Structure formats: structure tokens, C-alpha cells
């Protein structure tokens, strides 16, 4: 029985055949049973990849908790939803959200790049449903009308369109090879835009610094060089541009209803401008250029650190994900301003404050040293430490966390083998660790949802979700360490048709045995308020004794 999950509106980062990489509310994914692949790590190697979502699960109504990491990442989950860390032997283990405060938990180190990057924006798909004033012209010089679904065009208008070699944009099939324009306008564009680094930069600059009106796009900045860079790109499409100055800022206006429609359809307008969905399917180079445009528009650079500012919480969240996509360490925070809540995303290529520590792994380090046949003093000499006490402190977990670089020094000393492989995965896999700052109960009490990620029966069992990106467990129920009693398999047919259960060769469940490397810190039993200890035979649910249900009586 799956017992822990996320509320409907919590975002998860998935790959789908229709849209590629992007965000989806988990409730929508479950209700529509979307075919998808989750961004997840391999529990053995910690390498990051995409893995097939194998089931969509709706769970009972439960209390919702908010888990906040020191970096500003956060996620809304049920009280008993698991996050990931590693144990003292360096093996992946789970920690329930209510016990996670102060724990270093896993987040993505770098999100995967698409296998095939999108290198163009199809304007027909982008604008077809945006405005019925848009039309398409044959661009092959033949003068014939574009391939269109003429059944959607009133009979009285068909001759007019055909005589001009045109058709309403919403009727045009894709791909088509046409030029696009507004009615009564001579300005046309080809039906595809090439996704170059310069286009990506201009689009990012628009999200941070521009705005759109019905017939123009405006960019304002105090640095004329930045606006000239925008102008140079639009010049490549023969766009009509005008300049003006107000106070200390210059203004560049792109006089075009068509460009206004394109930028609005891609990234929105006003305070709702955000990272376009298509960006997640671009190459790393174009994603980096987009992020550069954002920072040039509304950010600053301080040595090796870069800061981006916005009053749009969703945009700040997406910028954090952009940083993860590019392997950048990010820190997200908010502060109150007279005009509202301002979000600040600070990031850098080199580790600083966040992500440079791993949980203590004393058993793993002792095992690696033992396999190599070295004494503590030998290791200290090889690494260049003054005494063996430094090695002893690591192997006895004297500190709550260990710097990655400290562990990395030891890998140059220890022989290859299973312990060394686990150390390498810890340092160079697809995950890093950030500390949970607090876990707090919200006033939300609602239906929850979960995804199963077990392709071909493999125990992947994780996916990325929440603000900024946190690895979340798809939480099939466990027989907790310390439990005594019988285990009951519950089956329920929620459909309208009967289901025949055959006693032979019909797989209806599985049981997986996991050996603990050390005694459970909080075993099942009376001290935890456990309800089913010494269960004998099928037992009715005792969930009514939980505090969250008592309050409703």
C-alpha cells in the first residue's frame, strides 16, 4: 500500500513524448496517466538519467507538510514521505520528511540534457491558436495557396485567400514552408525561427527586462551596448526599430505586432513572464545563453557569483532549475520590498556554502582503508595531514558533514574496489547534498498523488519535484524494522467488472528484503506510537487514532 505522496499542484520535472522535458502538476500526471519518464538517480551508481514512470497512484486525503532546505529549495509532501540520504556505509537510504530536519538530503547535481536538442521554433504550432488575424503565404514563389484545411474557412473567403496565395494560419498544416504575417501587413517571417545562442540571449533579456504591447516589443536598459545587441539580432529579420531615451535609460522598440505575438506566446507578458517551455529542450549552450540574457537584464555579477532578481516566484524557481541543468550551485531566498516579495537567485560554478558537503560515511572510509591495507598514519602521510587524528575523526564521524574535497583526497590513496566505487559515486554521481532547514505542518489537508518509477522491476523509485528540485521517493509501504506480526496483502477491485485471480503463475504482488547495515535508530513499536505491532491476521485500519483524524471528529 502506497502511503506517502504529494498534493495535486506540486510540480514534478518529467520528460514526455509530446513535450520533451518540462514541469507538470503531479495530480494532473496521475489523473491523465501521462506516459512519461522521470528524472531520477540510479541507487547503485547515483548516476542521473530518465526512467519510465510505471504507475500513477491516487492516495487518501492527508495532512501536507512543507520541507525547506537551507538553499531555499522546498517541497510539499505528506508527513511520512521519504527523502534520500546515505548511511554510514555510503549506501542510499531514506529519511521520512518529519525526521529530516538537519539531515543532508539528495538534490540533482546536473539535470540531463535532451538527447536531441530543439534547434528551431515552429511559429505555426506556436501561433496557430493565438490570433485569427494571422495568415500564411506560400513562400516557394509559386503563388499557390498553402496546404490548408479549407473546410474551416467560410466559402465566401476561400477565393479571396487563394487569389493571394494565402490561408488563415489556424488552418495550415505543419510542416508547411510558408511565410507568416498579420492581415493588412507587409511584414512577414518564415514559419520557423532558428534557435541560436543569440536568439536565446535576446529571449532571456526580454523575460528579465522587456515587455510587449499589441503592436510592439520594448526593451529598456541603462546600458546601450545591451540594447544594441538586441537590435542587431532583430536587424537580421529586417524588423522596424525605434530608439528613445528617458532619464538615464534608453528604450528600444520593435515595431511589430508579429514579434509581439511571438514573444508573448513564448514567454508571456507583464509580471507573468517566465522561462519558455521550449527552453528545457535546448542544448546546454543555448540554455546558458538564455540564462546570461536573464542576468544581463535583471541581475549582477560579483566575482565568481551571479545574482538574479525577480518578483515572480515561478521565474525564480525555474532559474534554480536552469542552474541545476547547467551544473551550477544555486541559493534561493526572498525578501520583502515595498512593491512586493522579491526573489533572489544566487549561483556560481564553483561550490560555495551549498552542495560542498556529504554526509559522514565512517564505515565506508574504514572499509576503503582496510581494503588498501593502510594504517591511519599511512593515510595521513600520503594525504599530507599532520597527524592520524584527522583520519580518525573522519572514520568516527566526529563531524555532522564532510567536505567533498576532503573525501576526494582520500580517493587518491585507496585502491580500486567496491568501497572506492561507492566513494566515487558519492563524489561524481548525479547527486549532491543539501541540509534540511525545517519541516513545518501547513493548514492543507487534501488528496495526494504519487508516481511509481520501477522500469523492468528495477528499484529506481525516485523522481525530481518541488521548488528548485529535490529527489522524492515513490513510497511503496515498508515493513518497518522492529515490526512483529503477520503481514496482510489487501486487494480491492475499484472497477465495475470482475477480475479473475488465478492461483498459478499470476503475479499480484512482490516482497523485497533489505538488510540493514546497522540497527534501526527508530524501530517500529510503542515509542513511535505504532498501531499494528503483534498484528495477528487481517486487521482493520487504525488510522482513526491518528491526530489528524481525531481533529475532524
Give yes or no for a contact between 78 and 445, defined as CB atoms under 8 angstroms apart. Answer: no
What are the backbone dihedrals phi and psi of residue 315, each rounded to the nearest 5 degrees, phi first? -65, -40
Instruction: Strand 210-213: give its sheet, edge to edge.
Output: 210-213, 216-221, 249-254, 241-246
What CA–CA distances, in Å, run from 444 to 7, 183, 475? 9, 50, 20
List of E strands, 222-339: 241-246, 249-254, 299-302, 305-310, 329-337
> Would you say 18 and 41 are in contact if contact means Cβ atoms under 8 Å apart?
no
Q: Which residue, among 478, 447, 446, 448, has the nearest Cα to 461 in the 3D structure?
A: 478
Catalytic residue among 490, 515, 527, 552: 490
Q: Report which DSSP code applies to 114.
A: P
Taking the C-alpha atoms of residue 182 and residue 257, their distance in angstroms, rounded to an integer, is 8
CA distance 417 to 510: 32
Residue with cell 581494503: 371
Instruction: List, in order, residues 6 or more apart from 477 with CB less than 8 Å away.
Output: 1, 2, 3
Question: Which residues is 106 bridged to in the sheet?
Answer: 433
Give the integer Cα–Cα distance in Å for 458 and 512.
Answer: 11
Do 88 and 400 contact (CB within 8 A), yes or no?
no
> Is 35 among the catalytic positions?
no
Distance CA 190, CA 122 (A): 9
What residues are annotated to the active site?
490
Amino acid at each position: 500500500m502506497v502511503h506517502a505522496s504529494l498534493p495535486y499542484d506540486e510540480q514534478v520535472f518529467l520528460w514526455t513524448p509530446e513535450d520533451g522535458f518540462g514541469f507538470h502538476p503531479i495530480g494532473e500526471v496521475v489523473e491523465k496517466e501521462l506516459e512519461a519518464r522521470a528524472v531520477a538517480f540510479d541507487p547503485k551508481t547515483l548516476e542521473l538519467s530518465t526512467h519510465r514512470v510505471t504507475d500513477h497512484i491516487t492516495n487518501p486525503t492527508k495532512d501536507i507538510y512543507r520541507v525547506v532546505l537551507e538553499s531555499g529549495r522546498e517541497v510539499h509532501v505528506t508527513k511520512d514521505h521519504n527523502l534520500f540520504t546515505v548511511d554510514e556505509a555510503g549506501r542510499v537510504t531514506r529519511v521520512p520528511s518529519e525526521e529530516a530536519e538537519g539531515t543532508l538530503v539528495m538534490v540533482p547535481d546536473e539535470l540531463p540534457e535532451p538527447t536531441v536538442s530543439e534547434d528551431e521554433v515552429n511559429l505555426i504550432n506556436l501561433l496557430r491558436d493565438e490570433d485569427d488575424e494571422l495568415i500564411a503565404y506560400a513562400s516557394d514563389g509559386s503563388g499557390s495557396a498553402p496546404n490548408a484545411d479549407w473546410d474551416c474557412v467560410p466559402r465566401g473567403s476561400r477565393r479571396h485567400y487563394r487569389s493571394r496565395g494565402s490561408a488563415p494560419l489556424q488552418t495550415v498544416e505543419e510542416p508547411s514552408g510558408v511565410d507568416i504575417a498579420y492581415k493588412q501587413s507587409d511584414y512577414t517571417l518564415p514559419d520557423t525561427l532558428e534557435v541560436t545562442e543569440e536568439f536565446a540571449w535576446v529571449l532571456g533579456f526580454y523575460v528579465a527586462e522587456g515587455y510587449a504591447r499589441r503592436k510592439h516589443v520594448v526593451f529598456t536598459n541603462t546600458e546601450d551596448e545591451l540594447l544594441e545587441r538586441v537590435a542587431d539580432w532583430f536587424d537580421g529579420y529586417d524588423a522596424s526599430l525605434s530608439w528613445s531615451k528617458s532619464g538615464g535609460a534608453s528604450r528600444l522598440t520593435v515595431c511589430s505586432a508579429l514579434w509581439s505575438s511571438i514573444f508573448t506566446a513564448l514567454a508571456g507578458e507583464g509580471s507573468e513572464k517566465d522561462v519558455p517551455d521550449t527552453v528545457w529542450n535546448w542544448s546546454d549552450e543555448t540554455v546558458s545563453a538564455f540564462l546570461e540574457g536573464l542576468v544581463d537584464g535583471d541581475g549582477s555579477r560579483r566575482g565568481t557569483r551571479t545574482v538574479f532578481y525577480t518578483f515572480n516566484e515561478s521565474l525564480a524557481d525555474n532559474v534554480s532549475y536552469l542552474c541545476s541543468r547547467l551544473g551550477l550551485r544555486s541559493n534561493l531566498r526572498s525578501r520583502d520590498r515595498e512593491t512586493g516579495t522579491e526573489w533572489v537567485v544566487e549561483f556560481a560554478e564553483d561550490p560555495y556554502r551549498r552542495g560542498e558537503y556529504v554526509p559522514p560515511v565512517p564505515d565506508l572510509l574504514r572499509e576503503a582503508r582496510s581494503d588498501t591495507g593502510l594504517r591511519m598514519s599511512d593515510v595521513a602521510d600520503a594525504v599530507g595531514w599532520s597527524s592520524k587524528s584527522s583520519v580518525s575523526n573522519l572514520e568516527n564521524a566526529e563531524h555532522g558533514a564532510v567536505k567533498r574535497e576532503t573525501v576526494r583526497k582520500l580517493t587518491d590513496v585507496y585502491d580500486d574496489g567496491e568501497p572506492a566505487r561507492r566513494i566515487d559515486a558519492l563524489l561524481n554521481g548525479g547527486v549532491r547534498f543539501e541540509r534540511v532547514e525545517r519541516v513545518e505542518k501547513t493548514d492543507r489537508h487534501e488528496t495526494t498523488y504519487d508516481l511509481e518509477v520501477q522500469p523492468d522491476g528495477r528499484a529506481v523509485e525516485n523522481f525530481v519535484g518541488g521548488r528548485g528540485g529535490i529527489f522524492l521517493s515513490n513510497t511503496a509501504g515498508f515493513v518497518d524494522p522492529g515490526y512483529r506480526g503477520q503481514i496482510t496483502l489487501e486487494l480491492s477491485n475499484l472497477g465495475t467488472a470482475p477480475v479473475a485471480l488465478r492461483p498459478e503463475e499470476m503475479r499480484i504482488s512482490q516482497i523485497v528484503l533489505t538488510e540493514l547495515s546497522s540497527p534501526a535508530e527508530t524501530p517500529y513499536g510503542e515509542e513511535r506510537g505504532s498501531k499494528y505491532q503483534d498484528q495477528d491476521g487481517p486487521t482493520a485500519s487504525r488510522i482513526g487514532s491518528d491526530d489528524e483524524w481525531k481533529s475532524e471528529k
